[in-house]
Amino acid sequence: MEPLQCGTSPIVGFRFSLHPMTGDFIQVIKGALRETDTTNVWMHTDDVSTVIRGRQLHVFNAAKSIALHAAKTGVHVAMSGTFSVGCPGDSAGDAYLDKGDELLNTDTSKQYVSSQFALYPMNNPDYMAIIYREVERAKALGVYNDSMHYASGIHGDIHDVFAFYEEAFANARTSENAHLVMTVALSINSPSHGGGSGA
Ligand SMILES: Cc1ncc(C[n+]2csc(CCO)c2C)c(N)n1
């Protein structure tokens, strides 16, 4: 078998799970996936997670919309997932790269989210400088929340948080080191937000 090469495809993927803290979790998960316009991304759901793949702008647009639709139920919901680009072998089925620039999910409703992220610039010897640069950018933008082991806290309105994540994901890869992984964990409608004592 040929060794897997780092793909040169610009296809971006996001594999994520929603975990709504409610007995009606099936409705919240399925509703959020159904109500989002996913025409511009390739999507597949299984018993553990969902993956969306396509151009960066459409993957982030669909991801934000799915989170926002789940949030609108008012239920406390967790979204955790991994963005990836330049992944070895991730070059097949690139039909979705032909999609245009028009964003299909345009809901601008406000929604507070608290989250944590971690960047993994694969095979890049300057990876710590890249990570620090993005954390500094979060501070300048006012979405930085906290530093912690293995991740950095990002919070604020969902549109600001996703805009930061999309830009961090774009900034943290280079043409020489095109394989990048970013993990995110979002908490929405938590009774803990704002220093409450809930879970
Ligand atoms: C985004 C996302 N995709 C899939 C699952 C896995 N999952 C758990 S319950 C359920 C609905 C009933 O089949 C599904 C698909 C998830 N949690 N979040």
What's the confidence (pLDDT) of residue 88?
A: 73
Ligand 1 atom index nearest CA of 47: 6
Diameter of the chain measured on Cα atoms: 55
pLDDT, tens digit (0-9, with 9 covering 90-100), for 145-162: 999 999 999 999 999 999
β-sheet bridge partners, residue 77 = 20, 188
pTM exceeds cut of 0.90: yes
pLDDT, tens digit (0-9, with 9 covering 90-100), for 22-46: 999 999 999 999 999 999 999 999 9
Q: Are 19 and 100 contacting, i.e. CB atoms less than 8 angstroms apart?
A: no
Ligand 1 atom index nearest CA of 16: 1
Q: ipTM strictly over 0.85?
A: yes
- CATH fold label, 12-86+109-188: Alpha-Beta Plaits (3.30.70)
Between the CA of 66 and the centroid of ligand 1 the distance, in Å, is 12
